[in-house]
Amino acid sequence: MKKILLSFVFALVSAFTFAQSTWRVDPAHSSINFNIKHMGISFVQGRFDKFQGEVETPGANLDNAKFDFTVYPETINTGVEARDKHLKSADFFDAEKFPEMKFQGAAVSQGKDKNYMLKGKLTIKGVSKEISIPLTFGGITKNQQGKEVAGLQAKFTINRLDYNIKYDPAGAGIAKDVEVVLFLEVAK
């Protein structure tokens, strides 16, 4: 009887110890968007059409999760081809020389309700900065194929000058601050 009980306890402890899950971004149900003020009176909106990412969770929520995301600046899309071409140039993202922007998050702390604070390193044009991102956890459900999926949303602001995007450094025509909005669905 002791052997059966010990086997059961060992199996239970192993199940909790190895409950780590990897979640991958579903690009069909996710978007990485931005807004930037133009001429001080209006906004230009855009998005990146190609990105990938993973979230590793040690348990059933985001506590102690690790985030690893890559965005490809060559896929910037503002709906205006000439502007997109300029944004890919050395004046802005220099997409040929710096084909990836990365975010690696290693510290997550839970706030109220389903809100978290994600801390990590954002790298754009070879410049890495520590940032904090407020993150909303939408929950977990099963999709039509029976796979577990989770929803995440984030909104934060960065100063483009911090990442060597120095075109119009005074910010008269193009603001310094860029609002980034993420809508992510990740599948287990």
Structural domain contains residue 76: yes
Structural domain contains residue 73: yes
**pLDDT tens, residue by residue, 62-117:** 888 999 999 999 999 999 999 999 999 999 999 999 999 999 998 898 888 879 99
Structural domain contains residue 4: no
Mean pLDDT of 123-148: 95
The pTM of the full predicted model, rounded to 2 decimals, is 0.86
For position 20, what pLDDT does the model report?
86
Which CATH number does the domain housing residue 169 bear?
2.40.128.110
DSSP notation for 15-30: HHHT--EEEEE-GGG-
**Residues of the domain holding 148:** 20-187
Residue 19 binned pLDDT confidence (cut-offs 50, 70, 90): low
139: left (phi over 0), alpha (psi -120 to 50) or beta: left
Structural domain contains residue 13: no
For position 12, what pLDDT does the model report?
37
Structural domain contains residue 104: yes
Structural domain contains residue 3: no
Structural domain contains residue 86: yes
Please state, in angstroms and rounded to a whole number, the distance separating the CA atoms of residues 132 and 98: 23
**pLDDT tens, residue by residue, 152-167:** 999 999 999 999 999 9
Structural domain contains residue 1: no
For position 59, what pLDDT does the model report?
77
Q: Look-up: residue for tokens 């985030």?
A: 67
Number of domains in the chain: 1
Of 20-24, 113-117, 181-185, the one with minimum mean pLDDT is 113-117
